[in-house]
Amino acid sequence: MITEKMKTAASLLMLAGVLALGCNTSADKHAAVTTDSTTTTTTTVEKGETFSKEQPLKGCYLLILKKDTLQLAITSEKGSAVEGSMILNFAEKDRSRGTFEGEFKNGILMGIYKFNAEGTTSQRQVAFKRVDNGFVEGYGKITMVDGREMFAKENELEFDQTNVYKYTENCLN
């Protein structure tokens, strides 16, 4: 038989549970504050996630796919102009390493990747779209222009949302 005290105790336990769930006191969350000349934004993020909308572009972004490791490192940003490097370590192919220069506009980083692979120096256009936790690479039809691989139609690129170059504090050498 349920007594009045048991009902009260059960109600108090449920109320405590609801209050505990409603509070943001988890050790896995933290507040990130960013400031620029006009605004200050505070965003709460889960542990392991980043807050790229307010985060500067500069830094390292890694994509690990099984035995392959790819890095996008942004070393300089001046206005919309961006410079950096890329490392593409494929388990079954030669390593590709080089630099890129481009622009970041409307959430898209578009540039030219100059690299050495298999003893040859090459150039190709690359595109990355900014997402909440890093960048995703753009793909599209390629055409050769002055010895460079270029996108035939930049406005028709598709971005692979499943493979994210995630921000990391540890850059590859």
d(CA 142, CA 153): 8
Considering the entire predicted model, what is its pTM? 0.67
Determine the pLDDT at residue 54. Answer: 56
Determine the pLDDT at residue 155. Answer: 93
pLDDT along the chain (173 residues), means of 10: 43 34 35 32 36 70 94 94 94 87 96 89 96 93 95 94 92 84
Token reading at 62: 């890694």
Give the residue carrying structure tokens 């206005």.
79
d(CA 123, CA 72): 16
Determine the pLDDT at residue 60. Answer: 95
Token reading at 42: 């505070």
Q: ∠ CA 122-124-128 to the nearest 5 degrees?
A: 140
Give the residue carrying structure tokens 């493979």.
163
